[in-house]
């Protein structure tokens, strides 16, 4: 059965290449044509860049196109849009929203950011205080968001705001798509421990959002945001990353390049972390094989938990391995990068940046609660705020 | 370094056939291999031989890995791995791993139809005469072929030897390692049971002095066959360890959800919840690693998969058993509660077929991370 499917996919790829020769077609034009041919993400529905196939067929299409020298986007710039905005819009967006947003999101014409966290709403995300008040066909938004990765590059933001302060806090939230160029949106860099400002603070003052950019019903924002977060927590990007992807590849590379640094004690540590990293890779692979749809469950939390810890331990080990060179740091100058580079920079940068891995997208402590409660069925944490109206969220 | 996405083309899930096999094994073990029955092996009893006959002959598990033309089921290592998960879950005191996986693998390499057919039918139970601690990378023969052609030497802590009808004995000659078949009742072999840390896989010391044998493999292929059998054993032992770990986690979760202290269910304390969440995550990782090792049985990546499986899954099984004892509190220390059965099996399994350090050292060579 798969063989017929593969033949069909091969034909579609050949047709695309014949009609839009990558040698003579501009990259954006080609990517738009690829989207329209259903070869962007085959597991998306027809007409929205896909063919409604199981997602395991996507790597095959990607391989054929790469072999033909077709242009591709820099996926690293699009992590938030591809990994979080797209599945959320697909699951909860209107047909009009799907047609408007998914194509430029996928081609990379429009970069996305996530306007969730606030100074008073971190792990307790449902405590968001940013207000959206209805005014005819638009909503008027006021508030402050924080830890917004690359907001300074984003065209659109996924916004969680409070629309009904009179009901308990989870019930009073609504999910919007926010135009980052709209009047009243102010993005300020937020410098972090690495020296640069990959994050921003976003201030929203009387920002007007059309009701057509609401995702899900008013008051349904918590459920929609949940879909975004669950997608954030599964390993993003490659369905089948090769062995030694990510931080283990960097450290193993240093080990191979620098025989002068090797010691028995560091060797033992490295080998155990290599085994753990390979175990985490296979766990992610198995999780993806299990995923029949684009709605990952709480199991994905375990992979994020493991990868965060491993990135921290491995980047820490690399500094120890480098010894004297581990005391050098490339540059403390404040810059605003285009993308979040988890394995880029020098060893010192990697060590510092990796500290964020167990905080961003759900702290490791919250993820353990999620596994304990939703996978193992253990009792929920006692809450001091249940039934309290969102107007004065208990923090 | 191989840049292929190892595992991408291998199915790490359980197939319907595997699930059905698991159900039939579990149904039998649920009634015939309860924790109470297993505990009696420490006092000289246990379900032992009759249980093994039911599994080996009635469920036809003895010949699971033997091709159909030699009287077996012609199944793959994936099915054998599922059987081992269940045997681990029940800490079943049966020689499936030593006879139906390791001995069958060596016999298949020898290409001896008679031996494989008898192992497949359950008429014979076999054991490879090496210490249980021997890993695929660390094997050296302790028995030699004497001038008169008989076998001589001592082999300590051999698993499956007590139950065995035949022993597959790696034996040194000047030219290299041969593989010999010795009947367990040969007057030239003495099999002395050892009081073992894990009596559910009791080991025995062997002494061969003038044992008569039949040569199955000569010195050109003997060592490869022995290493191959140990490698497959190491790869599939990981699934037994997953069964042990999974069972420990389940036992602990079930207990803590009903145990109350300070007017609360103990499973509601965050310190406990987070430990159980971490343990669950590690058991699921061990499952992925073990599934990969089973699926990679015919793949060039098997040496990496098998060593990774033993390095990782052996540690997770021990952790799960130790957490099981600790989180149960006092009852976890008692003889009547089954936690100790898992602890003893998990710890013995950690030493079996090469310990984690040995496998990591082997991995270092395989994946080009040299020590100096």
Domains with residue ranges and CATH for chain B: 16-124 (1.10.540.10), 143-219 (2.40.110.10), 224-366 (1.20.140.10)
Count Cβ atoms below 10 Å from residue A330 Cβ, excluding itself.
12
Least Cα distance to A225 among A108, A324, A335, A124 occurs for A124
> Measured between beta carbons, which residues in chain B are less than 8 angstroms from residue A366?
none
Q: Is A278 a catalytic residue?
A: no
Say whether residue A389 is in contact with chain B using an 8 A CB cutoff.
no
CATH of span A230-375: 1.20.140.10
Flag if A378 and B253 touch (Cβ within 8 Å): yes
Q: Where are the domains of chain A?
A: 2-72, 112-221, 230-375
Segment holding A248, helix H or strand E:
helix A247-257
Q: How confident is the model at residue B3 (pLDDT cuts 50, 70, 90)?
A: very low
Query: Mean pLDDT over residues B322-337, rounded?
Result: 97
Band of residue A178 on the pLDDT scale cut at 50, 70, 90: very high
Q: Under an 8 A CB cutoff, do B372 and A290 touch?
A: no
Per-residue pLDDT at A177: 98
Question: Is the Cβ of A379 closer than 8 Å to some Cβ of chain B?
Answer: yes
pLDDT of residue A237: 45
Task: Give residue B61's pLDDT.
Answer: 98
Per residue in A348-367, pLDDT (tens digit) is 999 999 999 999 888 999 99
Residue among A267, A279, A367 whose CB faces B289 most closely: A279
Residue A252: list chain B partners with CB under 8 A: 367, 369
Query: Are A306 and B284 a contacting pair at CB < 8 A?
Result: no
B372: tokens are 């100096």
Q: Is A322 exposed, middle or buried (0-12, 13-18, 19+ CB in 10 A)?
A: middle
ipTM of this predicted structure: 0.96
Residues 274-303 of B with CB under 8 A from A: 274, 276-278, 280-281, 284-289, 291-292
What is the maximum alpha-carbon separation in chain B? Answer: 75
User: Residue B358 in contact with residue B138, Cβ under 8 Å?
Assistant: yes
Q: Which two tokens stand for residue A269?
A: 């540590």
Using one digit for the tens of pLDDT, what is the confidence trace for B65-123?
999 999 999 999 999 999 999 999 999 999 999 999 999 999 999 999 999 999 999 99
Q: What is the spatial distance between Cα A31 and Cα A104, in angstroms, rounded to a whole number?
A: 10
Tens-place pLDDT, residues A262-289: 999 999 999 999 999 999 999 988 988 8
**Cβ of residue B137 closer than 8 Å to a chain A Cβ:** no
SS3 B207: strand
Q: Both tokens of residue A268?
A: 């033992």
Q: What is the mean pLDDT of residues B135-151?
A: 95
A373 touches chain B (CB under 8 A): yes
CB-CB contact of B317 with B346 (8 Å): yes
Give the N- to C-terminal CA distance of chain A in Å, as an integer.
55
What sections of B194-301 are H helices per DSSP? 222-258, 270-295
Strands (E), chain B: 126-128, 143-145, 151-159, 166-173, 176-183, 189-193, 203-211, 214-217, 260-261, 264-265
Interface of A with B in 351-370 (CB under 8 A): 365, 367-369
CATH topology agreement for domains A112-221 and A230-375: no
Asked if A149 and A78 touch (Cβ cutoff 8 Å), the reply is no
CA dist., res. A30 & res. A221, Å (int): 36
Assess A274–B contact: CB distance below 8 Å, yes or no.
Answer: yes
Using CA atoms, how far apart are residues B154 and B139, in angstroms rounded to an integer?
15
Summary mean pLDDT of chain B: 96
Res. A250: pLDDT tops 50:
yes
The domain A112-221 is placed in CATH, from the list 2.40.110.10, 2.40.10.10, 3.20.20.70, 3.90.1150.200, at 2.40.110.10
pLDDT digits (tens, 9 = 90+) for A45-87: 999 999 999 888 888 999 999 999 999 998 888 889 998 999 9
Write down the pLDDT at residue A298.
Answer: 77
């Amino acid at each position: 059965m798969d063989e017929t499917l593969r033949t069909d996919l091969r034909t579609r790829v050949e047709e695309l290449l014949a009609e839009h020769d990558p040698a003579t077609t501009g990259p954006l034009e080609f990517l738009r044509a690829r989207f329209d041919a259903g070869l962007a993400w085959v597991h998306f529905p027809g007409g929205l860049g896909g063919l409604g196939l199981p997602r395991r067929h996507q790597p095959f299409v990607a391989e054929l196109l790469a072999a033909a020298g077709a242009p591709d986007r820099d996926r690293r710039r699009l992590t938030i849009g591809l990994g979080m905005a797209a599945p959320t819009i697909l699951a909860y967006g209107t047909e009009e929203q799907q047609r408007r947003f998914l194509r430029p999101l996928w081609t990379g014409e429009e970069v996305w950011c996530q306007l969730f966290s606030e100074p008073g709403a971190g792990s307790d995300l449902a405590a968001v205080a940013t207000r959206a008040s209805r005014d005819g066909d638009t909503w008027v938004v006021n508030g402050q968001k924080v830890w917004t990765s690359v907001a300074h590059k984003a065209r659109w933001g996924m916004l969680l705001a409070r629309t009904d302060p009179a009901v308990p806090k989870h019930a009073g939230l609504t999910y919007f798509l926010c135009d980052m160029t709209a009047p009243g949106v102010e993005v300020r860099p937020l410098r972090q421990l690495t020296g640069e400002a990959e994050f921003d603070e976003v201030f929203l003052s009387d920002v007007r959002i059309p009701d057509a950019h609401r995702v899900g019903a008013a008051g349904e924002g918590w459920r929609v945001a949940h879909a975004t977060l669950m997608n954030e927590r599964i390993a993003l990007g490659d369905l089948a990353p090769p062995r030694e992807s990510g931080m283990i590849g960097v450290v193993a590379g240093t080990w191979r390049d620098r025989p002068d640094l090797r010691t028995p004690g560091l060797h033992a540590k490295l080998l155990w972390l290599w085994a753990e990293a390979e175990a985490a890779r296979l766990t992610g692979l198995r999780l993806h094989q299990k995923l029949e749809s684009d709605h990952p469950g709480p199991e994905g939390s375990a992979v994020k938990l493991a990868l965060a810890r491993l990135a921290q331990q491995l980047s820490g080990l690399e500094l120890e391995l480098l010894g004297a060179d581990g005391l050098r740091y490339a540059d403390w100058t404040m810059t605003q990068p285009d993308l979040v580079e988890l394995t880029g920079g020098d060893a010192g940068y990697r060590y510092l940046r990796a500290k964020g891995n167990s905080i961003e997208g759900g702290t490791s402590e919250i993820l353990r609660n999620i596994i304990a409660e939703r996978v193992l069925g253990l009792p929920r944490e006692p809450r001091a705020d249940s039934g309290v109206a969102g107007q004065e969220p208990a923090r | 370094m191989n840049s292929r996405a190892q595992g991408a083309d291998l199915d790490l899930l359980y197939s319907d056939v595997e699930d059905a096999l698991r159900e039939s094994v579990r149904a039998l073990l649920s009634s015939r291999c309860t924790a109470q029955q297993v505990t009696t092996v420490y006092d000289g009893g246990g379900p032992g031989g009759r249980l093994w006959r039911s599994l080996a002959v009635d469920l036809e598990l003895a010949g699971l890995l033997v091709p159909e033309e030699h009287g077996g089921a012609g199944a793959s290592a994936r099915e054998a791995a599922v059987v081992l998960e269940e045997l681990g879950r029940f800490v079943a005191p049966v020689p499936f791993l030593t006879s139906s996986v390791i001995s069958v693998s060596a016999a298949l390499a020898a290409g001896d139809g008679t031996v494989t057919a008898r192992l497949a039918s359950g008429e014979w139970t076999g054991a490879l005469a090496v210490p249980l601690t021997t890993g695929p990378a660390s094997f050296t023969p302790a028995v030699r072929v004497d001038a008169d052609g008989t076998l001589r030497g001592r082999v300590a802590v051999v698993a499956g030897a007590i139950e065995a009808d035949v022993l597959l004995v790696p034996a040194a000659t000047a030219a290299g390692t041969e593989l010999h078949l010795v009947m367990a009742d040969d007057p030239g072999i003495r099999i002395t049971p050892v009081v073992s840390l894990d009596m559910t896989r009791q080991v025995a010391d062997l002494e061969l002095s003038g044992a008569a044998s039949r040569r199955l493999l000569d010195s050109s292929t003997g060592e490869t066959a022995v290493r191959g059998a140990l490698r497959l054993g190491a790869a599939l032992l990981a699934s037994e360890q997953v069964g042990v770990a999974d069972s420990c986690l389940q036992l602990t979760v079930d207990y803590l959800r009903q145990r109350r202290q300070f007017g609360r269910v103990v499973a509601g304390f965050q310190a406990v919840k987070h430990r159980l969440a971490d343990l669950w995550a590690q058991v699921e990782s061990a499952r992925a690693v073990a599934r990969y090792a089973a699926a990679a049985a015919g793949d060039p990546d098997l040496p990496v998969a098998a060593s990774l499986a033993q390095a990782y899954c052996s540690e997770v099984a021990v952790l799960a058993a130790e957490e099981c004892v600790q989180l149960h509190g006092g009852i976890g220390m008692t003889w009547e509660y089954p936690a100790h059965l898992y602890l003893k099996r998990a710890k013995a399994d950690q030493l079996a077929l090469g310990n984690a350090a040995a496998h990591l050292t082997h991995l270092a060579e395989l994946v080009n991370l040299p020590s100096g």
